[in-house]
Amino acid sequence: MSHAKSGEDANGECRDSKSRVTIVGSGSWGSVAAKLVASNALKLPSFHDEVRMWVFEEVLPNGEKLTDAINKTNENANYLPGIKLGRNVVADPDLENAVKEANMLVFVTPHQFMDGICKKLKGKIKGEVEAISLVKGMEVKKEGPCMISSLITKELGINCCVLMGANIANEIAVEKFSEATVGYRESREIADTWVQLFSTPYFMVTPVHDVEGVELCGTLKNVVAIAAGFVDGLEMGNNTKAAIMRIGLREMKALSKLLFPSVKDSTFFESCGVADVITTCLGGRNRRVAEAFAQSGGKRSFDELEAEMLEGQKLQGVSTAREVYETLNHCGKLEMFPLFSTVHQICIGRLKPDAIVHYRNFGPNPKL
């Protein structure tokens, strides 16, 4: 599909032919995505200037609604304070209204909310619409794991690419150089349109023909970051942390290929792979909260620490570790993934945080 509807002139100038973009989500990464897309929508003739952003309505301490505050100040004071999103970003608390006229949807919410969002939008998406998911995580059903891009395609009947990478939101917000990877399934043309829409001089985007590989990298690296946080909290040092990152990357690759044999080895050397593992294990909220969990000896729950440390943002790694554990348990492969399985067991209090290295079965994975 072309990113503009038929009937445009040679320059894409006919008003009705222009693509409209809506960002579904408004946390820190959703707000950064809006800023990136909004700057390009103004420059690219084939896009409408206005970029809608669906905001889960909250009331600020001063009694003002978050959507009103964003539309008045052009900033998301809750999740990205001090950063102008672009005057062409319009916050909308009504999900259906926000997506109504869009033919390009950018999904960027915690993965725990995606099932509900898809159910709300089912049957409401009309015409030729393309989606991209920036959501890290997966749904585990009794028949096995369902990637968020597949959930979007299945529930809404639209093609869905993914964008993942070494992307800590507040660094991109202040325009520090970063890279990302767009994974696409069929149409390279659509992938190139998303690349065009997200790329800026400080945000370099590369397309890769491997949706599952890119998406699983973005999902599984949060489990590795939890492990790295345990290592930091117990002050085990850089050698140990490097070992955990390497073992984690190996398990990411082995699990990805177990679930989807089509996943390419080369994907793990893209920004979504090794670079994302490194940045998430050095910074990132999953590492930070896991560090605090280990410092408490596992006595303070992740829920309590999330509420205290993240100011409304959501952890992904703990729920992803559970989903991975359920998937591996379901297919009888737990023993092949000792790091992933240990992370989950520490998270639920079945093992102590120092088990991250005392669980010694970190030998090579059987060939998949």
In this structure, is residue 128 part of a structural domain? yes
pLDDT, position 61: 92
In this structure, is residue 366 part of a structural domain? no
Residue type for position 106: V
Is the same domain home to 83 and 194?
yes
**Which of 157, 149, 204 has the alpha carbon at shortest distance from 36?**
204
Kindly give the residue spans of alpha helices, DSSP state H, lying in the chain: 28-43, 66-73, 95-99, 114-121, 148-156, 169-173, 188-198, 211-233, 238-259, 276-282, 285-295, 302-309, 317-330, 338-347, 355-358
Is the same domain home to 179 and 62?
yes
Q: Which residue has the higher pLDDT, 137 or 191?
A: 191
Rounded Cα distance, 271 and 179, in Å: 6
Is the same domain home to 86 and 14?
yes
In this structure, is residue 365 part of a structural domain? no
**Which of 88, 80, 281 has the alpha carbon at shortest distance from 171?**
80
93 pLDDT tier (thresholds 50, 70, 90): very high
137 pLDDT tier (thresholds 50, 70, 90): confident
In this structure, is residue 167 part of a structural domain? yes
Q: Mean pLDDT, to the nearest integer, of 61-87?
A: 96
In this structure, is residue 183 part of a structural domain? yes
- 363 pLDDT exceeds 90? no
Question: Residue 215 corresponds to which tokens in the numbers above?
Answer: 């998406």
Using an 8 Å Cβ cutoff, are 294 and 234 in contact?
yes
For residue 89, list its beta bridge partners. 51
- 9 pLDDT exceeds 60? no
Rounded Cα distance, 39 and 275, in Å: 25
Question: Residue 344 corresponds to which tokens in the numbers above?
Answer: 């989950």
Tell me what the pLDDT averaged over the chain comes to: 92
- Is 151 exposed, middle or buried (CB count within 10 Å of its CB: 0-12, 13-18, 19+)? buried
pLDDT, position 368: 38
Cite the annotated binding site by residue number: 25-30, 56, 113, 136, 169, 285-286, 314, 316
**Where among 145, 176, 209 does a domain terminate?**
209
CATH number at residue 240: 1.10.1040.10
Is the same domain home to 251 and 282?
yes
Catalytic residues: 221
CA distances from 59 to 64, 66, 109, 311, 321 (A): 6, 6, 19, 14, 32
Is the same domain home to 126 and 273?
no
Q: Which residue has the higher pLDDT, 15 or 253?
A: 253
- 193 pLDDT exceeds 50? yes
Is the same domain home to 168 and 233?
no
**What is the tens place of the pLDDT at every residue in 148-173?**
999 999 999 999 999 999 999 999 99
Q: Which residue has the higher pLDDT, 1 or 79?
A: 79
Rounded Cα distance, 61 and 362, in Å: 48
Is the same domain home to 329 and 184?
no
Cα 146 vs. chain centroid, distance in angstroms? 15
- Is 9 exposed, middle or buried (CB count within 10 Å of its CB: 0-12, 13-18, 19+)? exposed
Q: Mean pLDDT, to the nearest integer, of 27-53?
A: 97
142 pLDDT tier (thresholds 50, 70, 90): low
Is the same domain home to 134 and 280?
no
**235: which DSSP letter?**
T
Q: Which residue range is the domain that position 184 belongs to?
A: 2-209
Q: Which residues contact 81 (CB under 8 A, 6 or more apart)?
A: 75
- 364 pLDDT exceeds 50? no
pLDDT, position 169: 94
360 pLDDT tier (thresholds 50, 70, 90): low
In this structure, is residue 204 part of a structural domain? yes
Q: Which residues contact 15 (CB under 8 A, 6 or more apart)?
A: none
Cite the annotated binding site for substrate by residue number: 136, 285-286
Rounded Cα distance, 294 and 244, in Å: 15
CATH number at residue 87: 3.40.50.720
**Where among 209, 233, 256 does a domain terminate?**
209
Region of 19 on the Ramachandran plot (φ > 0 left; ψ -120 to 50 alpha; else beta): beta
Is the same domain home to 78 and 165?
yes
In this structure, is residue 200 part of a structural domain? yes
**What is the tens place of the pLDDT at every residue in 202-245?**
999 999 999 999 999 999 999 999 999 999 999 999 999 999 99
State the CB neighbour count (10 A cutoff) for residue 181. 28
- Is 281 exposed, middle or buried (CB count within 10 Å of its CB: 0-12, 13-18, 19+)? buried
Rounded Cα distance, 37 and 152, in Å: 20
Rounded Cα distance, 323 and 335, in Å: 16
In this structure, is residue 254 part of a structural domain? yes
Structural domain tally of the chain?
2
Is the same domain home to 221 and 200?
no
Q: Checking DSSP bridges between strand 178-183 and strand 159-164, what pairing results, if any?
A: antiparallel
Cite the annotated binding site for NAD(+) by residue number: 25-30, 56, 113, 169, 285, 314, 316
15 pLDDT tier (thresholds 50, 70, 90): very low
Region of 199 on the Ramachandran plot (φ > 0 left; ψ -120 to 50 alpha; else beta): beta
**Where among 209, 240, 271 does a domain terminate?**
209
Is the same domain home to 176 and 276?
no
314 pLDDT tier (thresholds 50, 70, 90): confident
**What is the tens place of the pLDDT at every residue in 280-305?**
999 999 999 999 999 999 999 999 99
- 63 pLDDT exceeds 90? yes
Is the same domain home to 180 and 42?
yes
Residue type for position 128: E
Question: Residue 301 corresponds to which tokens in the numbers above?
Answer: 């729950």
